[in-house]
Amino acid sequence: MSNLPHPSGILDPKIVSLMRKDAPDAEKNGKFTKAQLNLIHDQKWLKMLAPARYGGLELSLPAILEKEEALAWADGSIGWMVTLCAGSGWFNGFIDPELAKKILSDPKVCMAGSGGKMGTAEKTKAGYTVTGEWAHACGANQATVFTANCTVTQGGKPVKDENDKNKVLSFVLFKDEVTIIPAWNTIGMVATGSDGFKVTGLKVTEDRAFVINNDTTGIDAPLYNYPFTPLAEATMAVNISGMALHFTDLCTTLFNEKKNRSNQLLINDLGVQETLEKYTARLEDARMKLYYAVSLSWDACKNNKRIKEAIIYKVSAGAQELAKRARECVDALYPYCGLFAAGKDTEINRVWRDLHTASQHTLLVFGGSPE
């Protein structure tokens, strides 16, 4: 695969302008502005991965990656929130159909959640009693629905699954059933408001429990036959590359204005030129490799439902490599930007902080389970 489009070609410039214009206020207030949220819902970005039969867009995975990378390029916090909350919308392919229809009937639906197994679900005759506290949920302060993983217990003791491990189920929780816990205090991704949430002794019916497993989906479509972990890795990785591309764009503008100690524009400094060319080329190479691996896996999923492990490995490895190259590119260019880039009120500093916060996600550092 070659000639990947720059994210600027994916989104309407007016949309990009609106997203970026409100970004400073969103960060200052720790939440997205009304105009940003209206845009997100009007464009139905949070329904990109939701089943079409329930009112979702059900886009192809390659199209999802292009859109999410472009959103992260436009604004890191919006891109990250849309990716994680739209990703939770994917769960509607595994949730009880009537419940999924109810969830997606809300034009301002926003599903947030945590992958951590931080709760318990005591089995009862009517369903389950859920108790737990989850540390972070991206988009918590505008979420209409939360998903949470719980260890199933009966009589206070863990229930074992078919592999003799503690049984874990995911649960649908509604906004008015949870208590938000202020917990988001990071250097970047401030506007996402990724606070925690908790429930205590919440009684839920059987239909509120679900299992994220391709064998349990009731929808025979490529998006819901695609394995969860590489899907999560790929969508998160393109967010990091989108932010890195935004950073390099800002660097290029800055280097055309800033001079070195010899009173020469940085863009004409051979050392700066070599660094810019070397690391942007590495970033672009990693982008192409991931998109190519995803294309292979998507075609396999459409044709055979099952994807060979070797191809899944290519997607996971490609995601890890892209996140790594994005961090390296930004860190190699940052020293040339001067004290200006260290100013907390500058766009380039916000992008730097957003990237270095989002890229701390364990899935992009170590791989493995998206918890």
Q: Is the pLDDT of residue 258 over 90?
A: yes
178 lies in the same domain as 256: no
Q: Is residue 1 part of a domain?
A: no
Query: Same structural domain for residues 235 and 318?
Result: yes
Would you state the pLDDT for residue 369? 52
Distance CA 291, CA 206 (A): 39
Q: What is the pLDDT of residues 89-98, one digit of tens each?
A: 999 999 999 9
d(CA 301, CA 162): 27
Res 215: pLDDT:
80
Same domain membership, residue 166 and residue 273: no
Assigned domain for 104 exists:
no
For residues 361 and 231, membership in a common domain is answered with: yes
Domain range for 309: 226-365
Only one residue has tokens 């393109």, namely 238
Chain segment 276-298, per-residue pLDDT in tens: 999 999 999 999 999 999 999 99
Q: For 67-108, what is each residue's pLDDT tens digit?
A: 999 999 999 999 999 999 999 999 999 999 999 999 999 999
221 found inside a domain: no
- We report the CATH number of the domain holding residue 238 as 1.20.140.10
Residue with tokens 């007016």: 14
Name the DSSP letter for residue 286.
Answer: H
Q: Considering the entire predicted model, what is its pTM?
A: 0.95
* CA 340 – CA 92 distance, rounded (Å): 45
Q: Are residues 349 and 231 in the same domain?
A: yes
Render pLDDT for 136-185 as a digit per residue (tens, 0 to 9).
999 999 999 999 999 999 999 999 998 899 999 999 999 999 999 998 99
**What residues does 117 pair with on adjacent strands?**
149
- The gap between the terminal CA atoms of the chain, to the nearest Å, is 31
Find the mean pLDDT for residues 182-208.
96
Give yes or no: residues 236 and 342 share one domain. Answer: yes
Identify whether residues 116 and 198 lie together within a single domain.
Answer: yes
